[in-house]
Amino acid sequence: MEINLWQERALNATTEPVKCFCDPKTCDNIGWCLAAEQCYSAVVVESYGLVARAGCISVDSPLQCNTPASHNHAILCCNTVNLCNEFLEPELIGGNDIHFTNDDNQSNLTPIMMSIAIPAATCVLVALLLYLLFRFYKRHAWKAHKYEKAVSSGAGDTGTPPEKPLGNPLAVQYGGHQADTSLSPVTAGDSTLQDLLGHSYSSGSGSGLPFLVQRTVSRQINLIDRVGTGRYGEVWKGSWQGEMVAVKIFSSRDEQSWFRETEIYNTVLLRHENILGFVASDMISRNSWTQMWLITHYHENGSLYDFLNTNTVNRDVMLRFAQSIANGLVHLHVEITGTQGKPAIAHRDLKTRNILVKRNLSCCIGDLGLAVTHRRDTNHVDRGQNTKVGTKRYMAPEILDDRLNVDSFEEFKQADVYAMGLVFWEIARRCQCSTGRVVEYQPPFFDQVQSDPSFEEMRKVVCVSKVRPHVPHYWTNDRVLSQMGRLMTECWHESGSARLTSLRVKKSLQQIEPVCPEVKLKLDLI
């Protein structure tokens, strides 16, 4: 190791006490010390790197001056002049010259850097998150604005609808589907129900329009005529941008039915061609009182009850009615699993008044205010908050004699099948058989109970006397009617477990060949 002039003077110095340059860490930050013997300057290898030290060496100091340099440390001493060790530069073997540094600063570097870096990184992350949220909000606000602009181009609450209907009203009225919750924006002036609902026809996700659009549409409907009344309230024919819709207005005492039906119609994946198409649901303030609206597709043929009262059907139409009703009930009953799955749904009030006849003479099931849902993973039957019961004339024996287990979803489905058998009987009675015979419309048990039977009356007829609707003998002479007769009797069996399932009914109906093969329905439900 080479020794420069200052180092040589230091090694040959006297032992007179001098002031030494001192490592602030060991000298209480005053920077110097009074040597009892010599001053020193050293380089030491620490865990965090090379550290230069300086200070005073007393007589009893463990430090040894001018020891041979190694890979781990090097030390030089002096006592020539005050602060002489300031110019000593020890060198490790194989290393570079090391100038004096304060290892206290070195050791404090990491905490200081961390105290600066962590808040800075946090600020950057927060800023990035706020930016992403802002972009997300702007994008969805833009979509909402486009929807508002599109639907606002039609008639207002009390305005006049456009003179010329927009879009294809047949596609809207009889599409039978419900809308997705992730629709693309539509162009103002070109919006129709087909535009708003059409995206869901192929997307396979969601049901019902976004709630913002539902509220906008409901406030732009012009009521035209009242087309029906019921225990829930009234049904009106309405117009939105020249297209017809049905508006079901609930009475104030039936709020739970409105809430439950809204909840069911917004079920993911509920949309189906044989389930009444849902458009919107909202509370409307008119004439200083609040109305609860449920807006659906409008079907000019009305309910199946109305249709059968005024029309007879041939065997092909009878099968079309029956098959479409079975398809709709199967879709309700089936549970669709997956990320956006659909729960199994039991209707609980299936009857001809709650089934609509579409222009193509197929049917769709409506009025889901009493529906119950079920998921197999939790095995929970959700009956909602609605305490109303179904129509007594269509109640299964286990309901009338209070045997139904409300915690068993299978029993709710069996009760639906019983009611479907009665509906089939009503349709078949209005069918012209091969001999041309047909009878006037009558509801089930018309010859056993009064027009509005009590619960006890129905229990005595169905449970005690075990009466079922009469199957006319002349049906046996008609191939299609005889098969329908056997099918409906299997639907209204006394024991719920002995009844056919809705899926079995659907498959049995598909095996009944219509009179005209070219009109046979090809139904793909599942």
Q: Which residue numbers are catalytic? A: 349
The secondary structure of residue 492, as a DSSP letter, is S
Collapsing DSSP to helix, strand or coil, 206 comes out as coil
Within 13 A of 307's CA, how many CA atoms are on the CB side? 25
The closest of 253, 229, 283, 292 to 386, measured between CA atoms, is: 253
The secondary element (H helix, E strand) that includes residue 363 is strand 363-365
Cα angle vertex 455, ends 494, 458, to 5°?
A: 40
The closest of 323, 308, 505 to 413, measured between CA atoms, is: 505
| Paired tokens of 256 | 């739970």
The whole-angstrom separation of Cα 431 and Cα 414 is: 26
The secondary structure of residue 219, as a DSSP letter, is T
The whole-angstrom separation of Cα 166 and Cα 355 is: 27
The whole-angstrom separation of Cα 442 and Cα 445 is: 8
The closest of 480, 475, 491 to 513, measured between CA atoms, is: 480
Q: In sequence order, what are the beta bridge partners of 382?
A: 373
488 in Cβ contact with 425 (< 8 Å): yes
Total residues found in the chain within this entry: 526
The whole-angstrom separation of Cα 459 and Cα 177 is: 38
The closest of 33, 55, 58, 53 to 42, measured between CA atoms, is: 53
- Residue spans of beta strands (DSSP E) within 35-126: 38-46, 49-57, 73-78
Q: Which residues contact 157 (CB under 8 A, 6 or more apart)?
A: 219, 220, 221, 222, 286
The secondary element (H helix, E strand) that includes residue 237 is strand 233-240
| DSSP letter for each residue of 453-516 | --HHHHHIIIIIS-------GGGGGSHHHHHHHHHHHHHS-SSGGGSPPHHHHHHHHHTS--SS
